[in-house]
Amino acid sequence: MIVFTLAILACFLLGDLVHRCGAPAEVSRKSVHVGTCLVIAAFPLFDIGHRGLLIIAAGSFVALALLRGTVLMRAIMSVERKSYGDLMLPLSVVAVAAAGFPYPAVIAAYLVLGISDTLASLIGRAYGRRRYTTFGHTKSYVGSMAFFLSAVAILVSVALVAGLPPGPALLTGFAVGVALTLVEAFSHKGVDNFFVPLVAAISLQPLLPV
């Protein structure tokens, strides 16, 4: 548990370093986001189970709630828009760990959240001229497409490694990818950090071999 906790802290230190080096706020924030999601996805490598993951996630949620707005959180709180993503991420881990979802579903859920969500944000900001609106918030078509394509690639890869034949793996990746893209499109203020991994894990649990 100690090594896992240190790995999470290292992600925040990396984000702070990126921020100090003059990177845009969104880049420093996403560097923390990607790093923590990758560490979460690899939690069995740190020799902890669902119970240990639950304890660390709950402690992280409390710590982040107490530290919000302090200089220690500048790497992820320096964006102009209001967001609760920093709290929603550990809260999603609490829910996923408490439910005891199998590891293939967990790794897919947090790889999609870390990689696909980041690609959607960065590509959408750079190239997203055509936009659509959901609940008063705008998203880019190219950002959502980047999320969908990367999510399908991740989901199909995990499904194949988990033991699904190519046909069912492709169908699983496409169907769950569509669902997660819609979840991301209708989520605002960082709540996708909670709903994307939870919906992914719930959807994949009955579809992937344990």
Contact by Cβ (8 Å): 182, 145? no
Query: Is 133 a member of any domain?
Result: yes
Kindly calculate the radius of gyration of the chain based on its CA atoms and give it in whole angstroms.
Answer: 17
pTM over 0.75: yes
Query: Is 69 a member of any domain?
Result: yes
Query: Is 120 a member of any domain?
Result: yes
Paired tokens of 28: 């420093």
Question: What range defines the domain where residue 119 resides?
Answer: 2-204
Query: Is 89 a member of any domain?
Result: yes
What Å distances lie between residue 122 and 28, 139, 151, CA to CA? 12, 12, 15
Q: How many domains does the chain have?
A: 1
How far the first Cα of the chain sits from its last, in Å, is 24
Query: Is 209 a member of any domain?
Result: no
pLDDT in tens, the chain (210 residues): 899 999 998 988 887 787 778 777 777 788 889 999 999 999 999 999 999 999 999 999 998 888 776 655 655 555 555 678 889 999 999 999 999 999 999 999 999 999 999 999 999 988 988 989 887 778 899 999 999 999 999 999 999 999 999 999 999 999 999 999 999 999 988 899 999 999 999 999 999 986
What contacts 48, CB < 8 A, 6 or more positions away? 1, 4, 56
Contact by Cβ (8 Å): 170, 164? no
Query: Is 155 a member of any domain?
Result: yes
Query: Is 210 a member of any domain?
Result: no
Query: Is 104 a member of any domain?
Result: yes
